Structure 1
Amino acid sequence: MFSAQPGRPVPGPYRSLFADRTFRRLMPVFALSDLGDGMSVVAVAWLALTLGPDGGQGSLVGVAVAAYVLPGALGALLLGRWTRHLPAQRLLVADSAVRAVLLGAVPVAHVAGVLTPAVYVGLLGASSLLHAWGKAGKHALFVPLLPADQRVAANSVLSTSLWGATTAGPALAGLLVGVVSPVWIIGLDAMTFAVLAVQVGRTTLRDSATPRPRPATGTKSGLSILWHRPELLGLLLVTWVFNFAFGPVEVALPLFVSGDLDAGAGLLGVYWAAFGIGAVTGALALGAARRLPLWPAMLGIIAGHGVGMLPFAFTHTAVPSLIGFAFAGLVYGPYSALSFTLIQDRAPADSLTTVLAARGAVLLTASPIGAALGGFLLDRTSAPSILVGCGALMIAVVPVSAVVLKRSADRPRPHRPAHGPAEHARRTA
């Protein structure tokens, strides 16, 4: 709810959230590391272009970008035996420290004259091996510390930071690449992770007043927990298809701008900036809506995102599709916060990081597969057809998802501790 008091324009959930000393202390370093990762989106690919052999730069760019992301899925699946029992704080510190050291080794290897393509890809791949666990720890860190009615606001702030970095990071890196080598931008990213590791490591987390459940499910893998909880499994499947449907957009949009609109990279940047600004606005707005019903809101987001893609059918001017893409970003912004909140509410508290890491590993495959399919289809149809088709697929996901929700709601859930009337009403809304 919003404060009605004069001079207090900040929404109540955010005001009470930042009154928490731990959240207020850690959020700036989360935002800093998000910005570093946003800059590396450009720097990783640009450095690969400079390192690749003549005629093979494109292949090295693809390998480098994949190495910076995909090993996290492998680490989530293979390292669970050793990491699933670790506290969220320790997982986040371990991931941040590994990324700080290995990404920091990139400029060191450059100065030493040993930064070959193989060394570069190896350092990127190794740096991402724990990243699914680190991201899981980041979202699980505050669960025992914050009241349940503040989780949506906390997840909204984390999502806003990520979307803000997605918008500002590449733009900042684009400016810096004109002044310094991308090697040093990756070094800056490493420094942000070093700051994150130090700050999280030295933060003392107070014990939650809520009794912790006995570790009955701690020995189960995240995938096993997801498989035996229909609502969480349904959420994973719906989100995977949603991300898969968005994958072709990243491939088709540049061709839509250059081919159908006969424009340059500047307009492409405007499209992504509009999407990012819309996403930041949507994520921030969500934090004020404590009582927003989670499943209906997420299904509405998917449908709204699909509707936002339909104006790409108009190719005579950029205005309709630009407005539609900004709207798609606006409705998409809250999705991550809502889905994380649903998982935090439904997953066993002692296995939350394991569930989040398994979820991240599965979802990492969705967008690349969608992008590959989009590239295949572009040889056989037009970019506007693919973009509109992505929107149509998103809209079609909604009735199927409603059936999944109905089926999962009909099944009994594991017993959970009782909550107050207000919290019960929010959960069952």
Structure 2
Amino acid sequence: MAPALGRMLRSSPYWPVVSDRTLRRALPGFAFSALGHGMAAVGVSWLAIELAPAGSRGAWVAVAVAAYTLPGAAGALLLGRFLRDRDPVRLVRWDASLRAVALGLIPVAYALDALDGPLYVGLLAVSSVLHSWGQAGVYTLLARVLPERDHLAGNAVLSTVFSLATVIGPALAGALIAWTGAAVVVIAVDAVAFLVLAIVFRFVSAPEDAPVGGQAGGQAERTAEGPVEPGAAPPPRPAGLTIIRNDPALFGVLGLSFGFFFLFGPVYVALPLYVSEDLRGSASLLSGFYTAFGVGAVLGALVSGYLSRWRLWPTVIGIVIGFGIFLLPVGLGAFTPVAMASFALAGLVWPPYSSLSTTLVQRAARGPELAQVLAVNSSVRVVSVPLGTALGGPLVAAFGSGRTLQISAVGILALGIASALALGLRTAGKARSVRPRK
């Protein structure tokens, strides 16, 4: 059995990833931090519910969830001058260290009976300042140690790790809250998980970036204006936003990602309130929804590495359409097991979207520009999800949690359909432009 499993692994697209020496050292750190992040999906919102006055829980959940990620977008834009040329390993380590310290202060303040809503939100905000650069460091490291043909498999391995954490993390968070009666314990575990990541990355080193195009040494460096002769000072590199704005492929994938994640953002507010108020459920039931999503995500992440022969653009658009369809029964108030099963199907297509869209970015931006573009790519999710989450508070107040889930599902479905029509028109236009004249 074991030899057969070993042969299957070595013949899979994931073998070059898990057999790489650098990534073997880094993956345990990824796993611990992902577990903490999975637990935080329940812990951050539930602690906000515990701290907030009864009449304003929706607003406080929205602010807390946004604070846990949103400042990372500001960090991506404001700190680019100082961080864009840094070693990706240092980026990951600095992000993990800041997370560990800021999140660790939350249980300390709670133990001293000094934790209130504003302090809680402030510490969450500080913890997330370097989040986009930490994510950029992860995917830049992967792009440096693996050849381009293995980028999708590498992204899929990371998605698998994170997806497994969404299965284990929320379930563990729900059990800890039920056992201790305090969601702050989950935040403490999250802080320890990032501390482990920071320690692991003390023993990881990244190879120097290869010249653009993956050629060996001796080639002249290239820029957007052309080759740079040896000994000549290259022109200043454009910022990540400028690179993206001038590249239709990058601009398109980031625009689609922004819309997708923004429209999903209200779910983080509506689902906890839907469970706690409409269903009269507990943190364990909420963790059950997240666990169902995570089970689907694990399967989807495992499949992602085998999609390298699929056309990337039609696939990512199809995923957006499918996600909207699968989210709809949750908002329509379907029987709880049916709603969980549908949420699991939404989870199934989530990791392939992340892996494929990141692969599109990695293929479009290479060399010294990669870390900048990946930081902006990460900040798209960092800013769009919290913006959607912040919108979730007023939506829930105006329409209720169930109707807000419906709005999110229909919006995602409409975005996917509109993107499919735009892709079809663009493809038809290209076909007409290359058709020979009679």
CA distance in 1, matches of 2:308, 2:146: 14
What letter is aligned with 2:99?
R
1:364 to 364, 369, 382: 382
1:290 and 2:308 equivalent? yes
Shift in CA distance, 171/80, structure 1 to aligned 2, threshold 3 Å: same
Report the alpha carbon displacement of residue 281 of structure 1 after superposing the two structures with TM.
Answer: 0.8
Counterpart in 2 of 1:421?
Answer: none
Paired residues of 2:164 and 2:294 also in contact (CA < 8 A): yes
Q: 2:228 maps to which residue?
A: none
Aligned to 1:205: 206
Aligned equivalent of 1:307, options 301, 318, 325:
325
Distance 2:328 2:49 in 1: 34
How far does the alpha carbon of each residue in 1:233-264 deviate from its partner, in whole angstroms, 9 at most, with x for none?
1111111111222233344445666777x563
CA contact (8 A) 1:84 1:354 kept: yes
| Deviation for aligned residue 1:352 | 1.6
Q: 1:215 to 1:50 in 2, by over 3 A?
A: farther
Which residue in 1 is equivalent to 2:28?
28
Please report how far the alpha carbon of residue 57 of structure 1 lies from its aligned counterpart in structure 2 after TM superposition.
7.0
Deviation at 1:402, TM superposition (A): 3.7
Post-superposition offset of 1:378 = 4.7
1:92: how far off? 1.2
| 1:194 aligned partner | 195
**What is the match of residue 9 of structure 1?**
8
How much does 1:188 deviate? 3.1
Q: Which stretch has the larger CA shift, 180-189 or 347-356?
A: 180-189
Match in the other structure for 1:416:
none
Contact 1:150–1:290 (CA under 8 A) maintained in structure 2: no
The match for 1:264 among 281, 292, 307 is 281
Distance in 1 of aligned mates of 2:297 and 2:243: 31
1:81 is matched with: 81
The AA in structure 1 aligned to 2:100 is A
| Contact kept? 2:133, 2:375, Cα under 8 Å | yes
Q: Matched residue of 2:145: which SS?
A: coil
Question: Which 10-residue stretch deviates more, 112-121 or 134-143?
Answer: 112-121
Q: In structure 1, which of residues 182, 190, 214 is the aligned counterpart of residue 221 of structure 2?
A: 214
Q: From the superposition, tell whether residues 58 and 238 of structure 1 become closer, same or farther in structure 2 (CA, over 3 Å).
A: closer
Q: 1:30 to 1:299 in 2, by over 3 A?
A: same
The letter of the residue matching 1:197 is A
Counterpart of 2:436 in structure 1 is none
The question of 1:131 aligning with 2:131 is answered yes
One-letter identity of the residue aligned with 1:356: L
Please say which of residues 268-277 and 251-260 is displaced more in the overlay: 251-260
Identical columns (%): 42
Shift in alpha-carbon separation, 1:97–1:312, aligned structure 2, 3 A? closer
Gap regions ≥5 residues in structure 1: 413-429
Q: State the 1:301 CA deviation.
A: 0.7
- TM-score, normalised with respect to structure 2: 0.80
Partner of 2:370: 352
Query: Residues 177-222 of structure 1: CA distance to partner in whole angstroms, max 9, x if unpaired?
Result: 3238555543332332222223223223344663488374763221
2:361 to 332, 343, 351: 343
Structure 2 segments unaligned to the other structure (5+ residues):
225-235, 431-438
TM-superposed deviation, 1:104: 3.0
1:244 aligns with 262
Q: What amino acid does structure 2 have at the position aligned with 1:224? A: T
**Quick one: distance in 2 between partners of 1:156 and 1:12?**
12
Instruction: Give deviations 1:128-182, integer Å, cap 9, x for gaps.
Output: 1111111111111111210112111111111122222223222212322323855
